[in-house]
Structure 1
Amino acid sequence: MFVGKGGVGKTTLACARAMSCARAGQRILVASLDQAHSLGDALGFRFAHDAGTVPGITQVVPGLEVIELDSLALLEDRFGTVAALLGADPGHDHGLDLSALDPAEITGLPGVQELLMLVEIAQYAAEDEWDAIVLDCPPTADMLRIVTAPETMLGYLDRVWPPHQRMMSSIGTDIRRAVLAATVQRIVAAVTEVRDLLADTERTSARLITLAERVSVAESARVRSATALLGLRLDAVVVNKVLAPVPPPGPEPQHPAVRWYLNRCAEQFDVIAGLRRSMPEIPVLVAGHTGAEPVGIGPLAALSYVVAEDAVGSESELDDRVRLDSGGVVRDDPGSAPPHDTDTAASGVRLESGAGLQSVYAMRIHLPVADPATLRLGRVEDDLIVGADGVRRRLRLAPVLRRCTVSTAELDNGYLVIRFRPDPQEWPQ
């Protein structure tokens, strides 16, 4: 998936990268999650969006297919079937009438649109029809909300209607309640598949698209922190629209336009150098400025050669992976290993010192926080709530830590270290 700066710029990079993969003989699907429909703008044609129908897949060039996902059309298609099932037993009235709801109203509920699109993508990935699926994602803030939607929904469902209660309802005599329980269980299974796909660092990774601007780089640092907390593997940062260097100027007076260009180049190169220093473990790739905006199949095909050689092609080991960039995701053989260390919130727990009630357990979470002042910690029953740089995640504690209380927490060289001590009221005597 391509995440980062929104707009057609990131979308053109996603399309160009997909075209370079297709030219190499791979089967590629580019799917747009961006409701602004920048994918059609970049390709130079308009997708059919007929009311009440789910848009289909369109072949652009041999080996490359595209689709723009319409969340409202998906909801109308999925919700209509569920409402018909739940309304099949008019003899019982339990105060539940989903047929009275309009799909357009449901899309206003937080996370519904995002989940529908992600479930659709997971189904495409399960079909094994393509070598890679590239997602054209919305801007950063929206994309982070999409990534958190599966885990958030599963957590809410488990607390509002626990699994054991759903199971009892599914085998009860109340037909409508049984149908509802079965439907919810299908939803849970689909959302769990999405969550597991996003968390699978061997199949899914994120590629951050940014600009050579200090404000954009500051945003990139927060996104890096967010992806680590959310368990996404950030495999590269692509700096887009970088000006080409020019020979040193001669002794003659410079035209103002030349001075502006040289100063802008120096600023961009300084920003890129700073970005590489701040993320030494993540490849920082450069995509040069193409001049005229590449819109349409022909210009994108030309850009695909530049992208393959200058920006992404230098990392051949990344060719067949699932990518999460502001423009795309690519899926490959799940048995392959990541090309370099993952940048995720995978946590480890170890006994640091002591024994019994004097034990000290340490939990380490990889979390390169951009602004330490935003770090927040909380605990709800057996879950630890971690927030940083505008993102919050609920993490299930290891069994041994559920009988402990938090003692201290500190940031240590890109890691959040939380120490626990046994709770005398809960610890086995």
Structure 2
Amino acid sequence: MRTILVSGDGAEEVAAATALHHARQGLTTHLLAADDPHRVLDDVLGTRLTDQAVRYADALTVARTDGPSAFRAAIDGLSGVLGPAFDLLGATPLDPEELTPLPGTGQLALLRSLRTVRDQVLVVAAPRPAELIAALALPEQLDRYLARLLPEQRQAARALRPLLAAVAGVPMPAEWLFEARTRAAAALAEARAVIEAPGTTVRLVVQAAAPRAAELRRIRAGLALHRLRLDAVVAHRALPAAATGSADPWLAAHAVRERDTLAELAAELDVPLLTSRQPGPALEAVAEQLYGGAAAPQAAEHPWWVEDRLAEDGLLLWHLALPGADRAELELVRRGDELVVGLGGYRRLLPLPAALRRCTVSGAALTDGTLTVRFTPDRDLWPRGLTEGIG
């Protein structure tokens, strides 16, 4: 399955053209509007979208996420396991008509859609980049919280719960809590499988008249920190190529500046820069401008890997590719067996590879978009018999 998350200024039109392009290649395609409160995609398609998929063209269905419905469905699914808790507290559950979406409901609706669509290609008119990154990072964060609050060891001890309660003198979690944790973990695993799949990529849309390269670099770094694959940047609604030769001096000068700015942006990027041009033509023409007969854009590979330099320098080096990262916005903290990495408004807790957990951090450097963290083996923790060759 191919999943393309289109985010940025003009994402709705680009997402619609992208979906139409794949459908015309004979691939069953689903176009999904996520976080589109003002129904921009409805206007682009000329049809009113609901949470029920409808056919728009051959091999192409369209729908929108429905935050309130997703929230009510989640509460309905938990009503059985939450019943004992309500009874214990003497509380009365809310009626479905009383339920209103909470902050974050849109993110949960998007994650739910990612793991339920079964077409060959899923194209999402996604939220703005910061909100999209937060939504895609949510399964990993929630899974971490579940592991801390209800670890697997406690689940494994369910059969011994009465005995443990008697020995410890404190009540153990009830069965419904373990069941809820199991269901939540399974749903999070399904969402993470889609997000981390090789076929899932992000396509950023910028306005050709003002691409804001510095902002794009920060978004790029946030995507890289969460290992989200960027496959292309779309410069949307650029002036026609002929505008550089216009008889109007203002228009010609503006077109030349725009052309030069986009050329500089293309030289800086490690992914293709696609261009759609004004005036806004039909979706078929936008798809032709963006993709034509070319192969689908491929995400650039930015591996993270550990380099063994024990024999030469007594070090292990962890290389983290973070294109777009700015040293001034970089924060690093070692916390037990994790490395906390902050980049501006983005933050992630990275579990250390097994070998690095036996080391101490001895330095770090950010060079050409790659963060290199230096680790020195701790002789008290390093396997006996291997310390003689260190350093």
Is the TM-score greater than 0.5?
yes
CA separation in 1, counterparts of 2:90 and 2:43?
42
Structure 1 segments of 4 or more deviating over 6 A? 101-106, 173-176
Asked if residue 204 in structure 1 is aligned to residue 200 in structure 2, the reply is yes
Q: Which of 139, 150, 175 is equivalent to 2:128? A: 139
- Give CA deviations for 1:263-311 in whole Å, capped at 9, x if unaligned: 22112111111111211x31111111234xx6xxxxxxx322x233321
In structure 1, the residue matched to 2:41 is: 39
CA 1:115–1:98 in structure 2 vs 1: closer, same or farther (change >3 Å)? farther
Shift of 1:163: 2.1
SS of residue in 2 equivalent to 1:124: coil
Residue pairs, 1:262-301, within 5 angstroms: 262-279=252-269, 281-291=270-280
Q: Which of 275, 281, 286 is equivalent to 1:307? A: 286
Asked if residue 342 in structure 1 is aligned to residue 331 in structure 2, the reply is no
CA 1:194–1:77 in structure 2 vs 1: closer, same or farther (change >3 Å)? same
Asked if residue 183 in structure 1 is aligned to residue 145 in structure 2, the reply is no
Q: What letter is aligned with 2:35?
A: D
In structure 2, the residue matched to 1:148 is: 137
CA separation in 2, counterparts of 1:379 and 1:101?
46
CA separation in 2, counterparts of 1:206 and 1:170?
45
Aligned-residue CA RMSD (Å): 2.9
- Give CA deviations for 1:139-158 in whole Å, capped at 9, x if unaligned: 11211111111111111111
Contact 1:387 1:393 in 2 (8 A): yes
CA 1:341–1:16 in structure 2 vs 1: closer, same or farther (change >3 Å)? closer
Residue pairs, 1:7-406, within 5 angstroms: 9-36=10-37, 37-48=39-50, 55-87=51-83, 93=88, 95=89, 99=93, 107-108=101-102, 111-125=104-118, 130-169=119-158, 172=161, 177-200=174-197, 202-214=198-210, 216-246=212-242, 258-279=248-269, 281-291=270-280, 302-304=282-284, 306-318=285-297, 339=298, 341-343=300-302, 346-354=303-311, 359-406=314-361
**TM-score between the two structures when normalised by the length of structure 1:** 0.78
Relative CO higher for 1 or 2, CA cutoff 8 Å, sep ≥ 6? 1
Contact 2:12 2:44 in 1 (8 A): yes
Q: What letter is aligned with 2:121?
A: A
Contact 2:30 2:62 in 1 (8 A): yes
CA 1:105–1:159 in structure 2 vs 1: closer, same or farther (change >3 Å)? farther
Shift of 1:365: 0.7
CA 1:248–1:144 in structure 2 vs 1: closer, same or farther (change >3 Å)? closer
SS of residue in 2 equivalent to 1:315: coil
In structure 1, the residue matched to 2:8 is: 5
Q: What letter is aligned with 1:409?
A: A
Contact 2:325 2:369 in 1 (8 A): no
Contact 1:210 1:217 in 2 (8 A): no
Shift of 1:106: 8.4
Percent identical across equivalent pairs? 28
SS of residue in 2 equivalent to 1:99: coil
CA separation in 1, counterparts of 2:229 and 2:353?
22
CA 1:236–1:116 in structure 2 vs 1: closer, same or farther (change >3 Å)? same
CA separation in 1, counterparts of 2:141 and 2:370?
24
Q: Which runs of 5+ in 1 are unaligned?
A: 49-54, 295-301, 319-338
Shift of 1:371: 2.5
Q: Which runs of 5+ in 2 are unaligned?
A: 163-170, 385-391
Aligned residues: 372
CA separation in 2, counterparts of 1:116 and 1:168?
33
CA 1:75–1:137 in structure 2 vs 1: closer, same or farther (change >3 Å)? same
Shift of 1:361: 0.4
SS of residue in 1 equivalent to 2:218: helix
